Amino acid sequence: MIDFRYHLVSIVAVFLALAVGIVIGASALQPEVLKVLHKASEVDSQKISSQRSEISELQNQNSADQMFAAAAAPRLLDNLLAGQQVVIVTAPGADGSTISGVTSALKQAGAKVTGEAELQPAFFDTSASTETSLDALAQKLTPPGVTPGSQTVQFGGSAQIAGQQEAAQVIAAALVTQPGADLPTQQIQNILDGFAQQGFLQLSQASGAATLAQATLAVVIIPANPPPAGDSDPANLTLLALAEQLKLAGRGVVLAGSLPGSGPGSAIDELVNGSTGIQVSSVDDANTEVGQIQVVQALSYLLAGHKPAAYGVYAGAVPSPAPTPSATPTPTPTSSPTRKGSG
């Protein structure tokens, strides 16, 4: 009769043999496994090293390009916007270096920057009370020839920003104008002060000016970060509606943003890839020297009668404006004095 101890010894023997087999098998396979893993690690290290080198080269190339653009800007921009007045309109959260860089480029091009109209967060609020306040202000401050609501752009969510669209018509009529259609100074001041006093605008006029003079062109600078709701966020739609009204009231407008703020979910992305029907020019890398030159070039293109287009990094299918400075007289060569022959 086989007792319990016999079964126990058999089971122990089986597991012991299994353990010994695993140890022997692992020892035999270990060098091959380590060799394969080491080879894979070497390949990954080479890829990482190559990518780091490529990134470094691209960074150096980009830095050199920006340095070249900064050095060439005076020649590329000279007199492109001579005689034009430009207003800067900024959204909450707009990148400060983008604003200052674009302003500097405009001045290099001979434009007079009339000042900055900073849209406040309250302007983008879509509550019923804000919509009512904006509608009331638009009706109260509207100048002759402007009927709030008559030119509202119909795109998705427009009912949500109806007050902003009506206000945009009135604000645009005060900020920009066509040649010979200027509003009286007092009326401009009343309109802008009315929206400023309600917390929708903050105004900063050019040094020495008592009020923000009307411009012929406008640059709208979008936030440095896209809004959380993506392309169809009311904040994006509001900026596009205002840009459209600035285009209708003046001679041209460019929607500009920093590269990080112009990607998916931004107002520029909605303008270029959405279905709003709005057509204004845009520059998506206006935080760089190259992009700031493009902002000026885009405005000069509009003045020359070109259609609005998208420029920059994301708009790869559309060529950027060519660096074509305005023509300047070519110096007439002076004749060298005729040398008398010797002898």
List, for residues 83-134, the tens digit of each pLDDT value. Answer: 999 999 999 999 999 999 999 999 999 999 999 999 999 999 999 999 999 9
Residue with structure tokens 């900073």? Answer: 118
Q: How far is CA 104 from CA 113, 140, 290, 320, in A?
A: 9, 36, 13, 20
For residue 288, the surrounding DSSP H or E stretch is none
Distance, in Å, from the CA atom of 319 to the CA atom of 64, rounded to the nearest integer, reads 21
Three-state DSSP state, 111: coil
Q: What is the pLDDT of residue 343?
A: 36
Contact 290, 323 (CB under 8 A): no
Category of 86 on φ-ψ map: left (φ > 0), alpha (ψ -120 to 50) or beta = beta
- 18: tokens are 């299994």
Q: What is the pLDDT of residue 324?
A: 47
Distance, in Å, from the CA atom of 39 to the CA atom of 324, rounded to the nearest integer, reads 54
pLDDT band at 339 (very low <50, low <70, confident <90, very high): very low
Nearest to 117 by CA among 151, 142, 92: 92
Domain boundaries, the chain: 1-77, 80-311
Q: What is the pLDDT of residue 155?
A: 52
DSSP string, 258-271: -TTTSSTTSHHHHH
Percent of the chain with pLDDT over 90: 53
Q: Which residue has the higher pLDDT, 146 or 162?
A: 162
Assess whether pLDDT exceeds 90 at residue 202. Answer: yes
Topology annotation, domain 80-311? Rossmann fold (3.40.50)
DSSP state, residue 113: E
- The per-residue pLDDT for range 179-190, each reduced to its tens digit, is 888 889 999 999
Angle at 144 (CA atoms; ends 143, 146), nearest 5 degrees: 75
Q: Which of 119-123, 148-152, 160-164, 261-265 holds the top average pLDDT?
A: 119-123
Contact 218, 176 (CB under 8 A): yes
Work out the average pLDDT over 335-343: 39
- 212: tokens are 């923000």
- The per-residue pLDDT for range 267-282, each reduced to its tens digit, is 999 999 888 889 999 9
Rounded-to-10 torsion of CA 168, 274, 277, 320: 90
Q: What is the pLDDT of residue 332?
A: 37
Q: What is the pLDDT of residue 154?
A: 52
Category of 241 on φ-ψ map: left (φ > 0), alpha (ψ -120 to 50) or beta = alpha
Q: Which residue has the higher pLDDT, 341 or 164?
A: 164
Q: Which of 55-69, 70-84, 159-173 holds the top average pLDDT?
A: 159-173
For residue 241, the surrounding DSSP H or E stretch is helix 234-249
Amino acid type, 4 = F
- 341: tokens are 């022959």
Angle at 86 (CA atoms; ends 184, 295), nearest 5 degrees: 155
DSSP state, residue 42: H
Average pLDDT over the chain reads 81
pLDDT band at 25 (very low <50, low <70, confident <90, very high): low
Model confidence, pTM: 0.75
Q: What is the pLDDT of residue 340?
A: 40
Bridge partner residues of 113 (DSSP): 86
Angle at which helices 234-249 and 162-175 pack, to 10 degrees? Answer: 30
Q: Beta strands of 23-124 (E only): which ranges?
A: 85-90, 112-119
Work out the average pLDDT over 286-292: 92
- The per-residue pLDDT for range 32-44, each reduced to its tens digit, is 666 777 677 777 7
**Contacts of residue 307, Cβ cutoff 8 Å, sequence gap at least 6:** 279
Q: What is the pLDDT of residue 277?
A: 87
Assess whether pLDDT exceeds 80 at residue 56. Answer: no
DSSP state, residue 254: E
